[in-house]
Chains A and B, each alone.
Chain A
Amino acid sequence: MSDDVKDKKTPAPNPFNPDSLRITGDVNTVGAEKLLVRLPVRKPTKQEFFRVHVDTEYRLPCAILEIKEEREFYLVTPGALWALAEDVRHVELRLCQNRQGASFMWPVPMPGPDGRTNSWHESAREAANLAENSWIRMIAVMAEGGYSIYRATGAIPDPQWPEKTFQELLQLAFKDGKLIDSEGHPIVQQLNGA
């Protein structure tokens, strides 16, 4: 047999020495990571335990407009606030995650400019604060005039927060025209009967 027929440089594989044939994880290299492309704005449902990001960088006191029929939230910039003063709510946007790993932005109700508040809002803020360190579930109870708060017991792993800045998360949460920064915004005009 000629040398060009048999490659002398590469020893023939030996099936009786399988150690050399084992793939150690570097062959299946093509994979995928889940991309965060939308971030719902909502309050936690009564069926879910959730956590709230503890970092002060991941919260924003702001005004929002809720269109209840559409179940949509709009972020209102201070410059456009005057045009919607009667319709907006003052909230603190908090980044949350449930036990299925789904992230969402919760508009936690805050006292209005006049300092007025109520038991519902107070219990919601309490739940948000507790959820910074514990897995929390909140259920509206009319008889109590607020939310009942449940804290999960046992060792539950901490959430794995998205690797994005709060600014980037805000852009995801309020993309597609959900930022009202002028009186010319279609929603403002719609509310004003234009």
Chain B
Amino acid sequence: MAPSTSSHATNIGNGLSRFPYGQIWCCDFEFHHADGDLPVPVCMVAKELRSGQVIRLWQDELRQSGCPPFDTGPDALFVAYYASAEIGCFLALGWRTPERVLDLFTEFRAETNGLWVQHGNGLLGALSYFGLPAMGTEEKTEMCDLVLSGGPWDAHDRESILDYCQSDVEALQRLIPAIACRILPEDDHGLLRLGQALLRGRYMVAVAHMEHCGVPIDLTLLDRLRESWGHIKDELIMAVDADYGVYESGTFKMARFEAWLIDKGFPWPRLPSGTLATDEDTFRQMARAYPAVAPLHELRHSLGKLKLNNLQVGADSRNRCLLSPFRSKTGRNQPSNAKFIFGPSRWLRGLIKPASGYGIAYLDFGSQEIAIAAALSGDEAMIDAYTSGDPYMTFAKQAGLAPPEATKESHKGVRNRCKAIVLGVGYGMGAESMAYRAGLQVAEARELLRRHRETYRVFWQWAENNVNVALAGGVLRTVYGWPIHTGSRSKLNDRSLLNFPMQANGAEMLRMAACMGTEAGLRICAPIHDALLLEAPLERLDEDVFHLRSLMVKASEMVMGTLACRVDADLVRYPDRYRDEGGGEMWDRVMKILPARAAGVVE
């Protein structure tokens, strides 16, 4: 349960004294920005907690200042709520970023991850959680609207906005002791928890850099798509449905779809009522198991969920949106599907195009979950499977499902089945989900899963012990301390706990790589699950890819200890554009329709 105010009153007095820093600066900016554009700082208030010094700067004063008006070196702690926003303003102003960042948002998320939080994860929600006084929601909304209006503001507005900004700084001042007693427990003499909190703060700086950079978009083409989208959708239905026959007057017909499934002999999950499940998750999983379903899935998503106008692209042709770090339970980023170019409509990624003279590279950790499972569990058989370069084929051989001389080509079917099981375990799936995903009989999936358990017995003991650790100890942590809590306010099941170490340590790995990459001056456009998108001038692209790859390998070793993760890289050089493997067919269809529309041929 949320701690009481009185219990915190005792800690508040002690909280700040244990921070080993000469200065503690609580800082907040007010800013506005159009969708996809960089933030425009309106004002900043900072308060040093030991001396009580307050700095209030309006936008003209901010622009004139070439550097932060306070110490941002290693002896000064920079405190903010959702620090990537404040650091984003630093970057917009051309200021150097703070070296020691304590983000009370990430620490509140850490405090409550896995638990139900009544008033959300915002600053007001955190204050409420700890029983601390907060500004009323209506008043806050009113002031936000005034700031987001973009001005002009008169003298009265200016003072009101500065006062409002300062009230958020004072809220930080109230909140910090409550957080301090979590990250500075009396028995943590090595200040491990504080160090891990600062590591998360370091990532928020990297997030600000990535949000500042953004993803290069072919804005001209996007505008054409937006203009013609209504007609394109009608023609897409005609084009895609020619292979299915499941639409009637532009409407998806369940009976026709069922008939198509029967004709193809595809099993399909049903709802308890007996009707076919046609939700997004089911379609996505079935499209993976049965590639013939993929175009229909892309079409349905494009017709239903895709709102091209929600994709946030700035005037400088960059896709920028909140990357929403630490939003998922595993600590991974969770940007808006609609606003982020790497949302579920994979074909749309064809809009990603490097600017003239530039190239981009998509670098991802190869089989990251398997590597983490193998390394952290110490299962030698699984380590052998990962280091073999083909963990799926090696599993087939280790489990006696394929002979030692088997290859990817000679035993494709067995390998695919084993791949579904190995990946399914990494995602914490049960036999039924694996069966649907891979197009297997449930009994066969169960048998393969049993073989996995026998082949990787050390891994399974470790994984099941993690569940026991979480259930018995109330919390499970990654190697760098990102926690998940269990208890009466938690809705976690065994499977998500089983899966947590692989996913959450994978998130740590990517965060570490993003930190090192941005600090090395590399232009990282975005994090995408277990990948980073890099941009560089063409003459430096290969060199920067090599550099980032080496940093990603180093990050993997920092998380996994002795084992290193493979890093794969796909390069795209101007004038080429990014092409997603799963969305290429749909992209080609849309592009076939688009020129005709633009030329006015189709009406």
Contact with B along A10-22 (1 / 0, CB 8 A): 1111111011111
Q: Which residues of A contact B202 (CB under 8 A)?
A: 15-16
Please tell me if B58 contacts chain A, counting CB pairs below 8 Å.
no
Chain A residues with a Cβ closer than 8 Å to the other chain, count:
33
In the complex, how many angstroms separate the beta carbon of A59 from the nearest chain B beta carbon?
26
In the complex, the chain B residue whose C-beta lies closest to that of A16 is B202
Q: Which residues of B contact A156 (CB under 8 A)?
A: 454
Give the distance in Å from the alpha carbon of A93 to the alpha carbon of B23 in the complex: 74
Give the distance in Å from the alpha carbon of A69 to the alpha carbon of B17 in the complex: 72
Contact: B195 with A15, CB < 8 Å? yes
Q: Which residues of B contact A15 (CB under 8 A)?
A: 100, 195, 198-199, 201-202
Q: Which residues of A contact B74 (CB under 8 A)?
A: 12, 14
Contact: A157 with B457, CB < 8 Å? yes
Contact: B189 with A10, CB < 8 Å? yes
Of A25-33, A112-120, A166-174, the segment with at least 4 beta carbons within 8 Å of chain B is A25-33
Known contacts A6-B20, A11-B20, A154-B400; decide if A31 and B465 are in contact (CB<8 Å). yes
Give the distance in Å from the alpha carbon of A156 to the alpha carbon of B471 in the complex: 31
Contact: A14 with B476, CB < 8 Å? no
Known contacts A23-B480, A28-B477, A32-B471; decide if A10 and B201 are in contact (CB<8 Å). no
Contact: B454 with A13, CB < 8 Å? no
* Interface residues of chain B: helix, strand, loop or mixed (majority): helix
Please tell me if A7 contacts chain B, counting CB pairs below 8 Å.
yes
Give the distance in Å from the alpha carbon of A154 to the alpha carbon of B398 in the complex: 10
Q: Which residues of A contact B201 (CB under 8 A)?
A: 15
The number of inter-chain residue pairs (CB within 8 angstroms) is 92
In the complex, the chain B residue whose C-beta lies closest to that of A4 is B17
In the complex, how many angstroms separate the beta carbon of B25 from the nearest chain A beta carbon?
14
In the complex, how many angstroms separate the beta carbon of B82 from the nearest chain A beta carbon?
18
Among A11, A12, A100, A156, chain B packs the most CB atoms within 10 A around the CB of A12
Known contacts A15-B201, A23-B480, A157-B457; decide if A31 and B469 are in contact (CB<8 Å). yes
Q: Which residues of A contact B512 (CB under 8 A)?
A: 18
In the complex, how many angstroms separate the beta carbon of A15 from the nearest chain B beta carbon?
4
Q: Which residues of A contact B303 (CB under 8 A)?
A: none
Please tell me if B256 contacts chain A, counting CB pairs below 8 Å.
no
Q: Which residues of B contact A28 (CB under 8 A)?
A: 466, 469, 473, 476-477
In the complex, the chain A residue whose C-beta lies closest to that of B198 is A15
What are 29 inter-chain pairs, A to B, with CB distance below 8 A? A1-B50, A5-B50, A6-B20, A10-B20, A10-B190, A12-B74, A13-B191, A13-B192, A13-B194, A13-B195, A14-B74, A14-B198, A15-B198, A15-B199, A15-B202, A16-B202, A18-B512, A19-B558, A21-B192, A21-B196, A21-B199, A22-B479, A23-B477, A23-B478, A27-B481, A30-B469, A31-B473, A99-B450, A155-B400
Q: Which residues of B contact A (CB under 8 A)?
A: 17-18, 20-22, 50, 74-75, 99-100, 189-192, 194-196, 198-199, 201-202, 400, 450, 454, 457, 465-466, 468-469, 471-473, 476-481, 512, 558
Nearest 6 interchain pairs by C-beta? A13-B195, A30-B473, A154-B400, A32-B468, A15-B198, A12-B20
Q: Which residues of A contact B (CB under 8 A)?
A: 1, 4-7, 10-16, 18-24, 27-33, 99-100, 153-157
